[in-house]
Chains A and B, each alone.
Chain A
Amino acid sequence: MAEKTTETPLESADAQETPKQPKKPAKKAAKKHDNRSPLSKLRSYTPLLVVLVCAIAFVANVPLGNISSFGWEAISAICPVGSLSVFLASKVFVPRILISLVIAVVLILLFGRAFCSWICTVPLVQKMLNIRSISIEDQRKDAKMRERKSRKKNTNKKASTEVNTVAEDADSAVSVALSQEERAEISQQMAQVANSHACALHSPKKWDSRHVVLGGSLLSAAIFGFPVFCLVCPIGLSFATVYLVLRLFTGQVSWALVVVPVMLLAELLIFRKWCYKICPVSALMSLISFGNKTFVPHINKDKCIETTKGKTCSRCNTVCPEGINLHDYSAGKFGINDCIKCRRCVDACPTKAITMPFLPPKDE
């Protein structure tokens, strides 16, 4: 296990570039997935599990709902964007909506944006569409592939000239590296790719386009009298698709079976960075998460390579899909309130310095 935990994208990248270095057997790459802790492995199945439970409930006629409003009768966790929208649209005070909103806020205060990596169906659909917006590891793999291809093409191009392009977007990380001497430069780039996907800016924005979409949706709901965003929300659409398919078995066919999935796919394909640029659910959760103090990734300064040896490691930052810098929140693309509790940083840390304790440790 110890051997596997040290396998990170950064390192395997180095391995690719410097075949002469003594290396572990190639098998290791295949085993790479094993370096995740059981909890992280579980995370890749939970969204599917949620869909399955909701589908079974639908077939069995149990009104459990889906993640737009999950629960029983008056007690449910309604999506907070939904409950705010319908409140503003109807201008009616409904006690059970308030209860649901309180439940949602408490859950977010407890778990932050964990919804995004543990429950939400959108990353699932994105994965099926091969949209790599949430996983930086995947982007890095992509980058490496292209790198290898392009290396064959333009063998003489200087790597350093491309650093800027790389910084713009990990997707364009076609930088080329040739020889041993340039190894340093490659690591630079990999670090850049890592940071840059995440941090074109060096301090997290207080608000971004997601928050504007949130505000626009709520305003629109209030003006036009219906929850505008709910009609196009990809989370709702993905469940609607599941339900439509299930209804086929009882012979209920409708044009919606075409319209709903097409809307869902169009949204996610056109806005490939849905989660980072548009999703008002994430915007609202990130705002409430300013008050989240539990399960916050915490670096044990006695174990971290950067703090103990004063050397650069940055792997936690590299793997973070939100570009959060755990050493200095203000240096990441997003602040810690946007942490989706995915545990990638926990798994990536070579010295296991990162934990996600229930309460922040009082040592500092």
Chain B
Amino acid sequence: MRQPKDQIMEPVASNNVEESINNTGSASVLQKNGLTRRDLLWCAGGAAVTLGLGAAIKAFGSEDVLRPPGGQNEDRLLALCLRCQKCTEACPRHAIVPLGTESGFITMRTPTMDYHLGDCDYCVEENDGIPLCVAACPTEALHLGEEATRNNTVIGEPLLIKNWCLAYRLTRCRDCYDVCKLDAIRLDSADRPHIEWDKCNGCGECEHVCRSMTAGTPVPGATHRAIIIVPMGQGGEM
């Protein structure tokens, strides 16, 4: 226990000098209680950048994207979403992914639907039809009203490209028809799929199972599956 004391005394040797420095220091302070010029520059820069950033990002704009249930009001979602990615974590079917830079900067890291890993069944199987993503969202950026149901919460609509669809090559593929739980796909006399527009809610199950362009069944010229879910107004049979 003696050693520490010795050591403590050591720096003390220069005490007086230090003290005097401190005193002259306080006397020669140029700015008493305000900000230095450099500080003010930082302040001005900070204000300019934060406001400029907001304007620039907004002006850059964004494309329409699919949103998880409850995120259909785009303005509300952009305003309230913290980009925390909790909804991505919450989705038991891995249907929600955060957006990258593809569709604009303002939407970056906000949630969108990607039906490659799974579809959205409105959490019927996993949570009795109470969407887990909506429950997880800390800011209610995803928000469903009282009257919201699986059927009237429309995420997007299908785009069916007949040229790429195996059924239109008379292969009798009907996977999408078989999985659709809302009976939104009907088969014609040649067993080719057609969309029942007023029944589809964009759940993505058809896209998820579509055989075209999935492993083993490449289709010449195709860039994506024969049936995909796209934002409202962009769908159709073509």
Q: Does A179 contact B (CB under 8 A)?
A: no
Which residues of chain B are within 8 angstroms of A257 by Cβ–Cβ distance? 100
Within 8 A of B (CB), among A75-110: 76, 78-79, 82-83, 86, 89-92, 94, 96-97, 100
| A247–B97 CB distance below 8 A | yes
CB closest residue in chain A, given B8: A350
Q: Which of B1-18 touch A at CB < 8 Å? A: 1, 3-4, 7-8, 10-15, 17-18
Interchain nearest-CB distance for B136 vs A (Å): 4
Residues 45-62 (chain B) with a chain A CB within 8 angstroms = 45-51, 53-55, 57-58
Bound CA–CA A96/B80 (angstroms): 12
Q: B121-135: which residues lie under 8 A (CB-CB) from chain A?
A: 132, 135
A66–B105 Cα gap in the complex (Å)? 21
Cα separation A78 to B117 with both chains bound (whole Å): 29
Residue numbers in B under 8 Å from A125 (CB-CB)? none
Interface residue count on the A side (C-beta < 8 Å): 95
A window 249-300: CB within 8 A of B: 250, 252, 254-257, 259-260, 277-278
The size of the chain B interface, using a CB distance under 8 A, is 78
Q: Is the CB of A63 within 8 A of B47?
A: no
Q: How far is the CA of A231 from the CA of B47 in the complex (A)?
A: 16
The 8 Å CB contact of B136, one of A63, A191, A227, is: A63
CA distance A240 to B97 in the complex (A): 12
A350→B50 CA distance, assembly (Å): 44
A195 to B12 Cα, complex, angstroms:
17
Are B78 and A203 in contact, with the CB atoms below 8 A?
no
Tell me, yes or no, whether B31 is within 8 Å of chain A by CB. Answer: yes
The total number of A-B Cβ pairs within 8 Å is 256
Q: Which residues of A contact B29 (CB under 8 A)?
A: 201-202
In the complex, whether A311 has a CB less than 8 A from a CB of chain B is yes
The answer to whether B36 touches A63 (Cβ under 8 A) is no
Quick check: is B198 within 8 A (CB to CB) of the other chain? Answer: no
For B50, what are the chain A residues with a Cβ–Cβ distance below 8 Å? 213, 216-217, 219-220, 228-229
Q: Which residue of B lies closest to A240 (CB)?
A: B109
Chain A residues positioned under 8 Å from B87 (CB to CB): 63
Complex CA gap A92/B76 in Å reads 9
Q: Contact between B57 and A215 (Cβ–Cβ < 8 Å)? A: no
Contacts of A14 in B (CB 8 A): 10-11
Closest chain B residue to A277, Cβ basis = B42
- Assembled-state Cα–Cα distance A6/B1 (Å): 11
In the complex, identify which listed stretch (A44-52, A131-139, A204-212, A334-342) lies at the interface while the others stay far away: A204-212
CA–CA, A76 and B137, complex, Å:
10
Distance from A10 Cβ to chain B, minimum over Cβ atoms (Å): 6
* B139 partner, pick from A62, A96, A239, beta carbons under 8 A: A96
On whether the beta carbons of B109 and A10 are closer than 8 Å, the reply is no
B25 close to A (CB within 8 Å): yes
Cα of A230 to Cα of B135 in the assembled complex, Å = 21
Contacts of A71 in B (CB 8 A): 138
> B42: nearest residue on chain A (CB-CB)?
A209
Residues of A within 8 A of B89 (CB): 57-58, 61-65
Closest to B52 in A: A220
Say yes or no: is A11 at the interface (Cβ < 8 Å to chain B): yes
Please indicate the chain A residues that have their CB under 8 angstroms from the CB of B51 in the complex.
216, 219-220, 223
Within 8 A of A (CB), among B87-135: 87-92, 94, 97-102, 105-106, 108-109, 114, 117, 132, 135
Residue in B closest to A226 when the chains form the complex, CB atoms: B78
B84 adjacent to chain A (CB < 8 Å): yes
Which chain B residues numbered 22 to 53 have a C-beta less than 8 Å away from chain A? 22, 25-26, 29, 31-36, 39, 42-51, 53
Q: What is the bound-complex CA distance between A195 and B21, given in angstroms?
A: 11
* B97:A252 contact, CB within 8 angstroms: yes
Minimum CB distance partner of A13 in chain B: B11
Beyond A184-B17, A225-B58, 6 additional contacts (C-beta under 8 Å) are A66-B84, A78-B138, A187-B17, A213-B47, A312-B18, A351-B4
Q: Which residues of B contact A (CB under 8 A)?
A: 1, 3-4, 7-8, 10-15, 17-19, 21-22, 25-26, 29, 31-36, 39, 42-51, 53-55, 57-58, 75-76, 78-92, 94, 97-102, 105-106, 108-109, 114, 117, 132, 135-136, 138-141
Which 4 A-B pairs rank lowest in CB-CB distance, beginning with the nearest?
A216-B50, A256-B100, A220-B54, A209-B42
